Amino acid sequence: MNDTTKKIHDWQDKVKHSFDNEGKLHDYLLSTMDNFLYRYLETSESKNLRAFEMAPYIYGAESLESSMVEALKISSPACKAGIMELAKTIPKAQRPMVKYRLQAQIKELTAEKGHLIITSFVNWDFPIFMDKSRVVKKEVEFKYHDLGEFRKDLALKLESACELFT
């Protein structure tokens, strides 16, 4: 084994040992999600968001946007039309809001392989947020087969899901 190959092998070993249990992978997932929550979901209503367990094996956070001007900055035509309808039908005095959500469902999470479903949601069914016809979601499936792929591609997959908010 030449010197360069040995250095690469040692580095790969070091990375693998830094994530040698599921808890560390889980922490990395949550801290990476927190960065995206800050960038895409933080609003005047919802600050300092942190990913948490929303349901078994589902982690993420939600936020509310009360400024229809800000909410209408979303480029998705379906979201824009729904938010515009909300702004027209609910009086400003009732403080209509749009709900954003980013979540990751863990199907499998190990150093050797994993499977996550990352989903972003924009919901304008104020005030109960239950009508699925007033929600647009973007789902990104993420499967990886080694730790390097997980570390390299997690942010790319989260970025892809968050395109819904832009």
Each domain of the chain, given as residue ranges in start order, spans 22-165
Give per-residue pLDDT as tens, 62-95. 999 999 999 999 999 999 999 999 999 999 999 9
Question: What is residue 10's predicted lDDT score, i.e. its pLDDT?
Answer: 60
pLDDT interval class at 18 (50, 70, 90): low
pLDDT, tens digit (0-9, with 9 covering 90-100), for 89-141: 999 999 999 999 999 999 999 988 999 999 999 999 999 999 999 999 999 99
Percentage, residues of the chain above pLDDT 70: 89
Radius of gyration of the chain (CA): 19
> In terms of C-beta distances under 8 Å and separation of at least 24 residues, what long-range contacts does 106-110 make, across chains too?
106/26, 106/29, 106/57, 106/58, 106/59, 107/57, 109/22, 109/25, 109/26, 109/29, 110/22, 110/25
Q: What is the pTM of this model?
A: 0.88
Q: Who contacts 1 (Cβ-Cβ below 8 Å, separation ≥6)? A: 9
pLDDT at 53 over 80: yes
